[in-house]
Chain A
Amino acid sequence: MLSHLPDAVGLLISLEGTLVLVLGTVLGIILGAMPGIGSTVAVAIVLPFTLTMGQSAAILLLLAVYAGSVYGGSISAILINTPGTPQSAATCLDGYPMAKRGEAGLALGWATVASVIGGLVSAVVLVFAAPQLAAFALNFGPIETFALILLGLTCIVSVSTGSVVNGLLAGMIGIFLSTVGGDPIIGEFRFTFETWQLYSGFNLLAVVIGVFALSEVFMRASAKPSPVSELVDFRGVVLPKWEAWKGRLRNLTKSVLIGNVIGVLPGTGAATAAFISYAEGKRSSPNKDNFGKGEPDGIVSSEAANNAVTGGALVPTMALGIPGDAITAVMLATLTLHGITPGPRLVDDNPTLIAAIFLGFFVINLLLLPLGLLLSRVAAPILRMREAYMMTAIVLLCAVGIYFVRGNPFDLLVMGAAGVVGFVLRRHGVPMAPLVIGMVLGPTLEITLRQGLILKDGNFFAFFESPIALGLTLVALVALLLPLIRAGLATRRVA
């Protein structure tokens, strides 16, 4: 891959490459700072606009929005005690108390430096781990790939907030939606009910934008209007001095490691990483008694870990084609839309593109420092913008985005319907991330299962003659059953 580095640098320093990196990071920081939008909605809003771009620019734009939004969430967490993204919820615990005592700039300074370091280390992990994992996965045939996708699907259990049954149900609905349209083996149409618009299936983006962005607008409309939050005194970011880091570097290193490890595991996500890291920081920091009262170590624990997840989460996405969460599922969909097949052959087939993505991810994390310093002051007044303007703009942008995907009016209808259905299901505790993961992984699951069965003369048990498939299936079973057993034990204990 090193030999393709000059070409990758060429892609990045082109006008399009530079613009995409800077604008994407700016947009990510601003959207991430807006409470309620979050990384998934931010990426979903931007996604359709990438369709007119080249492959590398499109992926880099989404990566920039992703990394920027994770950092941006800390701005509202610190200034108005409302995390812009769920990943930043742990940052509120110490960020806001610091801001209340007049140190908002310094709190954001700690958050900025920790985020940048977390993101940079995760970029290094991505560069080294993804090709290794992909090289190993090159030995996979349809049977092993089926077992791998099965393992990927178990992340539905961990991304299911609330009820696991509802999460699995949403996953099944997602997989079913992916079967609508032409059959991948013999080409006959399924579940189209004489509607020609369904011959090519449901547009994944229309469903993603509907269930995430549009349903969020309906959720806000169903809630009591929230008053505009009061801003604490804030006059720009103040970077912590070198001496202030003494005694905190161990906590930073540990947080970055936690973020990376959790990021690589499918389905855990940045919010989990931030809270685990915060808990570990609180347990082991020399300043543990100050946690919750405005302790910089608390901000460092949360922010270093949640930004370290970004690169880690991309490792299984890029190398195996398995999304770890809703955001990486959307990334995966974008790669597919641009004619790139994520998975073991990704690095071998697109060396320049992958080098550009890895290098670009590194640059994005470096850009977080100057842009974070600059944009915090701009983003602060935006936090006072009334919800009405933001929500109405989201509906308009969703429509614009979906129209540009294929110019198909039917996609707009699908988006509207997905928004309404998503809203109803979310109200009743059915999470939407599993639905999207199911829709993304469904086609590969189907084709590998059917190919495997055809190869083995219909004998499903012959799948387990492959040690890799057997190992992956066992891990999948454990991953699936462990939370169910835990939940069962907890219920018994309560009873």
Chain B
Amino acid sequence: MAGGLRESVLVQLTLLAVACALYWSTLGQTFSDVGSAHSPMFFPRIILVLWIGLSCIALVNALREPTDTERPHSLIRLGVLVGAVVVYSNVITTYGFFLSSAVLAAVALPLFGIRQPLVVLAYAVIVPGSLVGLFNHMLGMPLPTSPFTYLF
């Protein structure tokens, strides 16, 4: 419970801090301003004020009524998967769709409980390979290729 409380308060505090920082960022800006509704910051400021207000209420709620957030079954499993997906979304255009996807599949499948190396290897090669074959070579809608070969 205490962990859940700390986590939900932290999330609400982060949302509040982000909203405040964004509002603060609007104050120093100068635009070719010709009236309130013409100002590019007129509407975002209204929304940010509402965001800050709602964040405050949500923060008070989180402090008063601690939510029993279920802890992840395995933090390591989740952390590795999130990391892998974030890195994956960064490297697709550099190393190509096939190589990046094969590595991601090889990491993700064991995390989800597939332990047979042959199955992992087959999936990691066949699924991304089929997608590359379909899009790059049949439909003519090329996915990013690696720096090593134009084929994948």
Contact = CB atoms under 8 A, between A and B. Distances in A.
Interface of A: 52, 163, 165-166, 168-169, 172-173, 175-176, 179, 183, 185-186, 188, 190-191, 193, 214, 217-218, 220-225, 386-389, 391-393, 395-396, 399-400, 403-404, 409, 412-413, 415-417, 419-420, 423-425, 427-429, 445-446, 449-450, 453-454, 458
Contact of A188 (B40, B81, B101, B113): B40
Given A389-B123, A428-B69, A225 B112 contact: yes
B48 A221 contact: no
Contact of B112 (A193, A392, A400, A427): A392
Contact of A419 (B42, B78, B85, B144): B85
B54 interface: yes
A458 B36 contact: yes
Given A176-B48, A392-B123, A399 B89 contact: yes
Contacts of A419: 85
Contacts of A224: 73
B38 A454 contact: yes
Interface string B103-139: 0110011011110000000010001100100010000
A233 to B, nearest CB: 27
Nearest to B113: A225
Given A221-B112, A388-B112, A458 B35 contact: yes
Interface of B: 7-8, 11-12, 15, 22, 25, 31-32, 35-38, 40-44, 47-48, 50-51, 54-55, 57-58, 61, 67, 69, 72-73, 77-78, 81-82, 85-86, 88-90, 92-93, 97, 101, 104-105, 108-109, 111-114, 123, 127-128, 131, 135, 141, 143-144
Contacts of B143: 400, 403
Contact of B67 (A220, A387, A392, A429): A429
A225 B43 CA distance: 45
Contacts of A214: 85
A346 B126 CA distance: 44
B90 A413 contact: yes
B50 A186 contact: no
User: Main secondary structure on chain A at its contact with chain B?
Assistant: helix
Given A52-B141, A169-B55, A391 B38 contact: no
Nearest to B7: A428
A214 to B, nearest CB: 7
A169 B92 contact: no
Contacts of A446: 43
Contact of A165 (B36, B57, B67, B92): B57
Nearest to B11: A428
A400 to B, nearest CB: 6
Contacts, number: 165
B22 A176 contact: yes
B21 to A, nearest CB: 11
B131 to A, nearest CB: 6
A220 B97 CA distance: 24
Nearest to A409: B93
B111 A221 contact: yes
B141 A453 contact: no
Contacts of B109: 388-389, 392
A341 to B, nearest CB: 20
A227 to B, nearest CB: 10
A387 B69 contact: no
Contacts of B7: 427-428
B73 A163 contact: no
A415 B85 CA distance: 10
A163 B12 CA distance: 13
A428 to B, nearest CB: 5
15 contacts: A173-B15, A176-B47, A217-B85, A221-B81, A222-B72, A222-B78, A223-B72, A391-B108, A392-B108, A392-B109, A395-B85, A416-B89, A428-B8, A449-B43, A458-B37
Contact of B38 (A179, A186, A387, A399): A186
Contacts of B128: 396
The 10 closest A-B pairs by CB, nearest first: A388-B112, A416-B89, A183-B40, A453-B37, A222-B72, A172-B51, A409-B93, A169-B54, A412-B89, A446-B43
Given A186-B38, A386-B113, A388-B109, 14 more contacts: A165-B58, A186-B40, A224-B73, A225-B73, A392-B123, A396-B127, A400-B97, A404-B141, A412-B92, A413-B89, A416-B85, A420-B86, A425-B11, A450-B38
A190 B40 contact: yes
Contact of B37 (A168, A179, A393, A454): A454
Nearest to A442: B47
A399 B88 contact: yes
B26 to A, nearest CB: 8
A423 B50 CA distance: 23
Contacts of A193: 25
A449 B78 CA distance: 43
Given A218-B81, A224-B73, A179 B47 contact: yes
B114 to A, nearest CB: 5
Contacts of B38: 185-186, 450, 454
A416 to B, nearest CB: 3
A388 B135 CA distance: 24
A429 to B, nearest CB: 6
A222 B71 CA distance: 8
Given A409-B92, A424-B11, A386 B37 contact: no
A188 B40 CA distance: 7
B61 A163 contact: yes
